[in-house]
Chain A
Amino acid sequence: MPAFDQLNQAAGLIIPEINLIATVCIMFLTAPFLVTETGQASPGLRHRWGILTLLSIGCAAYAWIRSPLTDGAIGPFEIDALAWYVRGVTLTTGALLALLLWDQTDDSLAAEVFACLLAVLAGVNLVSVANDLIGVFLGLELVSIPTYLLLYLGRDDWQSREVTIKYFLLSIFSSALVLFGLAWVYGLAGSTNLAAITKTAVLTGTANGHQMLTVALVLILCGISFRLTAVPFHFYAPDVFQGTTPSAAAMLSFIPKVVGVVALLQIFPACYGSLQPGDWIPTSALRWLLAVMSIITMTVGNMMALRQKSLLRLLAWSSISHGGYMLVGLAVSGGATPGTSASTGLAAVLFYLPVYGIMSIGIFAALSSAGTKLRPLRSLEDLHGLSQIRPAQALAMTVCLFGMGGLPPTGGFFGKLNLFFAAWKENTELSRTLAIVLAVNAVIAATYYLRIIGLMYFEQSTVATEKESGQVAPIAAAICAVVTLLVFLMPQSLWDAARAAAGILPV
């Protein structure tokens, strides 16, 4: 039975994802039986679910390390260097997010919350391993749908419901755009298999810029921009960040960006007939579009962040501006032959993603553990004198904020530096402009990051809050702060991995 063999072989390629999904199924199916009809669960249940989640991520990570690469496969899945890299990033940050969710859930809802997280992680991985447009889209939806749940489960008030609905509607709208664009691609190539699309693109010469292809790709880009929080598809972010829990906001600030970048790198190079993302040379129309979007996104994000009084809205705008930085890398990607350092834009984006993720999760972890459930930290005023009441959290947050601002000695410094050099070295008018705008924006951004640090260290605290014991989130904050510093000390291995994932460095 060749069909069965094929299926079996395909399943062998996605063992980490199967592992995650299986855990999700177990959790959804058993959880209702552990909760009474009035919605009460035995205290401490969330710890068990949390441990199971970490265990599942650990198993997935084990399978990830053992999985071989299959370059140039024509089956439904392909494990290339990009997929390998993305899996590593999602599983690592997934474990940190699990630690962050730990404190924020009720015992009765813990199973659903953790299951949603695992499903999201599986979705990101599926996008990266998919060798088919349908697979990519399913992966995107596997990220979106549990996210709605996660937003809803986090808080039990009208604000949370409002932003969940907001996110739900706008997310569906963006998915529709993506799907519409994918349909156009299918119409052009006659196949949904990415390998087949690559071949067709080479044969028919669509790589030179077919008008239909331009429309398709722009639609896909617009849909995915929603996930990258690129202007003008960013509007939901500040509202949603403010209306949800810090843990959900941490997830939202990072996971959609990963999945968005990966989806773009899966679809776009194939449509231009490039096997590796690193071989892909965007057409000048696309380049311009990306560049303009990135400039607007960076600038608007930072400008708006300057004026915010609400801490979570500020972080949302900061997340938007970081989406803009990533678009810089995409705009200057392409044209690199293996072994040269002609353009490192893609590698810079891929390097920046986990670094940004770690820093962002660190900030939210410190934030959520510094407040209590009754008195969460919401406005900038709540941060006054945090260094006196929560010195450890304030320190971790300071390290991560330094990273967000791109200051040494943190990994964020190299993240921004790589993007800047990638843009500068491409040596076109557009890329140089991008580099300069990036640098100016980094300066503006430093203002509000440093202001937060100033509030924590130089202001007097107004309220005395009691400490909540038995928290797990501080562990996540500590890990994030340490890793942020470590990346500065030893950036080479991560940089090599990112370059390999971008197809610049031979695996």
Chain B
Amino acid sequence: MSVGFDLRVDSISAIMLAMVTGVSLLVALFGSGYMHGDGGYPRFFAAVSGFVFSMCMLVMANNFVLLFFFWEMVGLCSYLLIGFWFHKPSAAAASRKAFVVNRIGDFGLIMAIFLILTRFGSVSFSDVLGNPGMIADLAAADETLLPLICFCLFLGAMGKSAQFPLQVWLPDAMEGPTPVSALIHAATMVTAGIYLVARCTPLFMFAPDVQVLVSATGAITSLIAALIALTQTDLKRVLAYSTVSQLGFMFMALGCGAAGAEVTTPAVTAGMFHLFTHAYFKALLFLAAGSVMHAMGDVIDMRYFSGLRKALPITHWTFLVGAAALAGVPLLAGFWSKDEILAVLGTASSTGNYQSIFRIIRIVATVTALLTAFYTFRAYFMTFWGEERFPVEAGHHPHEATPIMAWPLRILAVCAALIGLAVGPTHQFQTYLQRTVGLKPYEAHFHLDVMVMSAVIAIAGITLAWSFYVVSPAVPARIAGMLAPFYLLSQKKFFLDEILYGIVVAPLKIFGRICVFFDRAVIDCLIDSLATVPASVSGLLKNFQGGVVTSYAGVMWFGAVAAVVVALSLF
């Protein structure tokens, strides 16, 4: 078998490429200002460039092996950038955690590639995905095969796109520089899992059970992440959990194909559309948070500052645009894409074999949308409203973003506001994406009821946040007191880290200790004692080397006689 360095750019790759390169450019510009004066400035841009290259190659790969290679490359760059300030123990631990958790997902992806290779006889996208007849034949011959392949693929996507229960690494990844959080851990790399599942739609179509699993996992992830985001006080962590939550939304949409072949394309379109718009407004939010962090002397905990809207006017209005887009305020980017997802969930809950499950998922999605609007604006109000307070680290005059940092914010804000309107209701995105292999054109409808509902939800969430954090700031504390156990659950992230530690990490650590003990006590001892043998033998032999020529000759003579005797008598 030979695996070529094959590249392919079709609609889905082109959309990813446009998004990756566009966001990367703006983030790199922002980063050049943000990282100014850091000792690792060249290292930072080396890793960022490496990441952009790998990500572009990842979406352009035309076979699974090449995809896997660059999948690992982006993982490596992510590892390097999370641990960019590796002298900080928390950053080093976070990068290691991200790397190790991603390995679990990669295990699934490797298994999937092996299965595809052995059953399809090829790893090329054209052979595997562009051949529906062959997929159907294989699915008919072995009905567990495709669900298995798809499950393994989804496992890989879960690792990279931080889905429950592998989502634990993403919030910790915020230890990296903020531009990296914006680029890799919000806009681009984490969407590789979505891309993989969307790309493999022709396979997933034959595994509706796995598609339901995809949707359900997305729903669980998005709900849990939104609930955790409610109580976090670290601005970047709120955004990180919102990323996890939005990724869950995308998976919810992708899984809707389970409802039937005619729903598949709308489902993929909705997922990809949300991916596309999310990249812009989430990158914007992260960069704005970075700008806040920059001004506040690297303090990002919202309890230590408030009322920044006068001190940081540009950051303030750009963050507001991003937050509104994320919350789903009508006509902004997030509104259109979230709308599509809710619409496709609605379709799935009224057709197909899995109506009841999708009904639950739809309710979860609606609740999550409400929570999203609430926690986003909670963060916004806590940061930019209220009395003006700065932390000690910021000095007396917090400085607004420099032009090199401000312009990317402005451009992204415009994108976040308009990009949904530009390509959503005009069906530009949909018609373009449909040219991808394996997707069929479909007739798009406006779902006015869904639109109205999501607009109401968004407004409701924002209003709630307004009344809690601006009008009567005492209310949240009182509610937290009333619901203390739930508040603690949310604040401690549902103890997921601790649970995973207990179930997985601790037993492995004990096993590791045993291995180390065995290595030290048994193997090392054995080897060390072996190593002393040559030296002691050497000491013994040294006695023969006396320097007397007659004894040398004597030994030679003895040797010759012995050789003759041995050669004659033995044989």
Contact = CB atoms under 8 A, between A and B. Distances in A.
A214 B538 contact: no
A371 B549 CA distance: 30
A173 B541 contact: no
B571 A288 contact: yes
B568 A232 contact: no
A302 B534 contact: yes
B404 interface: no
A231 to B, nearest CB: 8
Interface in A401-442: none
A307 B560 contact: no
Contact of B552 (A235, A284, A302): A235
Given A169-B553, A285-B570, A222 B559 contact: yes
A82 B568 CA distance: 30
A300 to B, nearest CB: 6
A288 B568 contact: no
Given A232-B555, A232-B558, A218 B549 contact: no
Given A214-B567, A285-B571, A303-B541, A177 B549 contact: no
B568 A306 contact: no
B538 A306 contact: yes
A223 B542 CA distance: 24
Contacts of A284: 571
Contacts of A235: 544-545, 552, 555-556
Taking each of B539, B544, B547, B563, which has the highest tally of chain A beta carbons within 10 Å of its own beta carbon?
Answer: B563
B448 interface: no
Contacts of B538: 303-304, 306-307
Nearest to B551: A235
B567 A289 contact: yes
A158 to B, nearest CB: 14
Interface residues of B, number: 26
B549 A169 contact: yes
B549 A166 contact: yes
Contact of B556 (A173, A218, A283, A288): A173
Interface of A is mostly: helix
B521 interface: no
B553 A233 contact: no
Contacts of B444: none
B281 to A, nearest CB: 54
Contact of B553 (A170, A209, A219, A286): A170
Interface string B436-473: 00000000000000000000000000000000000000
A55 B147 CA distance: 80
Contacts of B552: 166, 170, 235-236
Contacts of B482: none
Contact of B567 (A169, A170, A286, A300): A286
A473 to B, nearest CB: 29
Contact of B563 (A218, A283, A303, A307): A218
A214 B571 CA distance: 10
B568 A214 contact: yes
A221 B560 CA distance: 9
A444 interface: yes
Contacts of A286: 567
B570 A306 contact: no
Nearest to B558: A232
B535 interface: yes
Contacts of B534: 302-303, 306, 444
B503 interface: no
B564 interface: yes
Interface residues of A, number: 37
Contacts of A303: 534, 537-538, 541
A334 interface: no
A239 B547 contact: yes
B566 interface: yes
Nearest to A301: B541
B567 A285 contact: yes
Contacts of A166: 549, 552
A469 interface: no
A180 to B, nearest CB: 10
A165 B549 CA distance: 9
A173 B537 CA distance: 29
B560 A177 contact: yes
A218 B569 CA distance: 13
Contact of B560 (A214, A222, A306): A222
Nearest to A303: B538
A211 B569 CA distance: 10
A174 B556 contact: yes
Given A174-B556, A232-B555, A284-B571, A289 B541 contact: no
Interface string A214-257: 11001101110010000011011011000000000000000000
A223 B553 CA distance: 12
A238 B556 contact: no
Contacts of B553: 169-170, 173
A293 B556 CA distance: 13
A455 to B, nearest CB: 18
Taking each of B534, B568, B571, which has the highest tally of chain A beta carbons within 10 Å of its own beta carbon?
Answer: B534
Given A170-B552, A222-B563, A232-B558, A307 B570 contact: no
Given A170-B549, A233-B556, A306-B535, 17 more contacts: A174-B556, A221-B563, A222-B556, A222-B560, A222-B564, A232-B558, A233-B559, A235-B556, A286-B567, A288-B570, A289-B567, A302-B534, A303-B541, A304-B538, A304-B541, A306-B534, A307-B535
10 contacts: A169-B553, A177-B560, A214-B571, A218-B564, A219-B560, A232-B559, A235-B556, A236-B552, A288-B567, A300-B541
Q: Report the 10 A-B pairs with minimum CB-CB distance, sorted nearest first.
A: A285-B571, A235-B552, A232-B559, A222-B560, A303-B538, A307-B538, A285-B567, A218-B567, A166-B549, A218-B564
Interface of A: 165-166, 169-170, 173-174, 177, 209, 211, 214-215, 218-219, 221-223, 226, 232-233, 235-236, 238-239, 283-286, 288-289, 293, 300, 302-304, 306-307, 444
